[in-house]
Amino acid sequence: MRISFNTKRLVVSPIKDTGSIKPVIILEILTPKATAQLPNSWQAINTEEAARAWLKERLLEGQVYKVSTKESLSIIGFLFLYEMKVTEGREVRIGYLISEQFWHQGLASELIGGLIEKSAQESVTQLIGGVTKSNLASIKVLTKNRFTLDSYEGETEFYIYYF
């Protein structure tokens, strides 16, 4: 599923390759506070070379989207989609990251709401988001958008949205 969509305040569009985004933007978003709840491979990204390598790894894993504000088109975060092969329907695992300077403005909730709307048009049958139990803000984003707790593995809880 390769998509683009807009919400009231956001523009979401695919990143095709590592040259599509300046490493300095990645460094501005991947701050220690923003990545604290994320995997070890997302920690300590603090050079342009490390930022390019991080993006290259994400692009190999799945689809990466830049999240920009409509007002200035400044990149404020990323959306990650991993389409899973299932016997019936289309399951997409999701991840997202918003720059900490844009936290507490409802942008993550708006992003996920827009993704749900767009996914419905793409015949997706379920969206799944994994989040650490201690990441209460992300849990709130998912539950606010009608995701429900489906399962857990260690410290990670998996929330699912059924269409």
pLDDT tens digits for range 51-77: 999 999 999 999 999 999 999 999 999
Percent of the chain at pLDDT exceeding 90: 90
CA distance 130 to 138: 9
Tally of domains in the chain: 1
DSSP 8-state code for residue 29: H
Q: Tell me the CATH number at 19.
A: 3.40.630.30
Range of the domain at 117: 5-162
Q: What is the pLDDT of residues 119-133, one digit of tens each?
A: 999 989 999 999 999
- pTM of the entire structure? 0.95
Calpha distance 64→16 (Å, rounded): 8
